[in-house]
Amino acid sequence: MKARKKCSTRKLAIASVGKLRNQFIKKFTRETSWTDKDLFKFIDGEFVNKNEGTKWVMKVAIETNQRRIVELLLQNGAELQVLNDSGQTAIHLAAKNRDFKMVDLLFKYSGNENYCDDEGFTYLHAACMTGNIDMVQKLIDQAANLSIMCHDTHHSTPPLILAIDEGQVKIVELLLKNGADPEVIDCYGNKPIHNLFTYYSLIDPESKMEILKLLIKHNCNVNAKNEDGFSPLYLFYELCCSIRGDEARSGPKRHNDQLRFEKNRLDILLQNNANVKEVFLNGQTLLHLFIRSNICTFSYIDNNSYSPQYYQNEVGSELVETLLKYGADPNAKDDDGNSPLQLAVLCYNYDVVKVLLDYGAHVQSIDFLKKFWDYNDHIPWVEATLKFLRILELLQNKGFEMNEFAELKILKFLIQPEESYTTKKIEKILEYGKILLVKIY
């Protein structure tokens, strides 16, 4: 009987709190005509304990992003007290709510203590997120631990990586100057340099570049592997693939602009001794990965326009040339015996073939007995044929000699559409093919 009565009392209390919250939100967040006196009258009228009332109003104001209310409370002597069972003050709550202006406002009324909540999230973490240089400097002067880890689900990172994730260049510089470890590892097994090469990073391009330079200046390892065994160069490759894969949504111009920016970051990595000859799965080097991926696909088809258009991919060959310029081996073979030149020919990529030959690729390494139509099968057959003939002429000008078997293979390719061209591709043929190819069907 007593237990039932206790349960009923608890439900009544919860309902009462909910009603009070709705009343507060309606009067002070949805309306703007209230005065300072109205706010303090509400606190005095609804709470027996004024301090508890102020804390409650502060918490709700933080959660609903009401800076006017918070500033009014602070101006009238409210202190930054713990507001919940997780040991969090208004600063912790505002930071995790990503209201950075609110955090900066609250810091004006805080001391120099690096207060920590129950999950390890400190004022230093919050200041790094918001880019509050003055507060970070104050905490550094108070000998704050620059490697302290926060362990909640949203901010499981040390201050340096948190600042990087938010693109706070000046904070990154300040932390590194004061001894923050550029090799610190977050809970995902990534070092700061790895976080700079993720596709979903919200950092603007200029900040990415500046932070990369700062990390290198402070002796970060440009060949460091993360928990998954991936180096910055491999993550760079994956990033470029993701940008290329997003091209249908963002359009070819934006794609080219993004990849050109990434090319500048590739230059910085390679200038600072990133291992351009690193070998990955199946014996592939970066050259193999780039050439056989969508990064170097020679063109982009825009299906959204009234009449489908081809756009030249101008950046793929530039990225390949950058790798070669810094010492990538144009004759390295993967576990299947493919050289970069072999892959470029099989992908009908004239521009990449030309670049590889200019950097010393062995022209006789080409094996035409391999089924070269297995690659880039999205290219219209006539377009692929024209590309291939240009490549063949280029190879012969460089001294390439074919045997009889290779000649027969090429002849078969030229006079008969490859086996994979089934009726599924009729739509592409009608859109992009020539009259002769349409007649075949």
Q: Are residues 135 and 127 in contact, defined by beta-carbon separation less than 8 angstroms? A: yes
Whether 409 is covered by a domain: the verdict is yes
Whether 408 is covered by a domain: the verdict is yes
Residue entry with tokens 């948190």: 162
* Phi, psi angles (nearest 5°) of residue 230: -100, 135
Whether 337 is covered by a domain: the verdict is yes
DSSP state of 48: S
Whether 416 is covered by a domain: the verdict is yes
Phi-psi region of 389 (alpha: psi -120 to 50; beta: other; left: phi over 0): alpha
Query: How high is the pLDDT of residue 423?
Result: 45
CA–CA distance, 441 with 258 (Å, rounded to integer): 40
Alpha-carbon 84 to chain mean position: 34
Which domain range does residue 437 map to?
276-441
CA–CA distance, 331 with 359 (Å, rounded to integer): 10
| Domain at 370, CATH number | 1.25.40.20
Q: What angle do CA 144, 149, 152 make, to 5 degrees?
A: 130
Between the CA of residue 393 and those of 291, 354, 379, 400, 416, what are the distances in Å?
20, 11, 20, 9, 20
Residue entry with tokens 């928990």: 227
Q: Are residues 301 and 432 in contact, defined by beta-carbon separation less than 8 angstroms? A: yes
Whether 58 is covered by a domain: the verdict is no
Residues 6+ apart with CB under 8 A from 374: 346, 420
Between the CA of residue 112 and those of 37, 148, 158, what are the distances in Å?
31, 17, 19
CA–CA distance, 438 with 417 (Å, rounded to integer): 11
Residues 6+ apart with CB under 8 A from 40: 76
Whether 290 is covered by a domain: the verdict is yes
**Looking at the 3D structure of the chain, how many domains does it have?**
1
Burial (CB < 10 A; 0-12, 13-18, 19+), residue 154, is: exposed
Residues 6+ apart with CB under 8 A from 386: none
Give the CB-side neighbour count of residue 328, counting CA atoms within 13 A. Answer: 31
Q: Are residues 332 and 340 in contact, defined by beta-carbon separation less than 8 angstroms? A: yes
Q: pLDDT 10s per residue in the chain (441 long)?
A: 444 444 443 433 444 667 887 888 787 877 778 888 988 888 888 888 888 889 999 999 999 999 999 999 999 999 888 899 999 999 999 999 999 999 999 999 998 889 999 989 999 999 999 999 999 999 999 999 998 888 765 556 899 999 999 999 999 999 999 999 999 998 889 999 999 998 767 788 899 999 999 999 999 999 999 999 999 999 999 999 988 776 655 666 677 888 899 999 999 999 999 999 999 999 999 999 999 988 887 555 555 555 545 556 778 999 999 999 999 999 999 999 999 999 999 888 899 999 999 999 999 888 877 755 555 555 666 777 788 889 989 999 999 888 777 777 777 777 765 554 444 455 555 554 544 444 444
Whether 10 is covered by a domain: the verdict is no
Whether 391 is covered by a domain: the verdict is yes
Phi-psi region of 120 (alpha: psi -120 to 50; beta: other; left: phi over 0): left
Q: The pTM is what?
A: 0.82
Nearest to 372 by CA among 409, 339, 397: 409
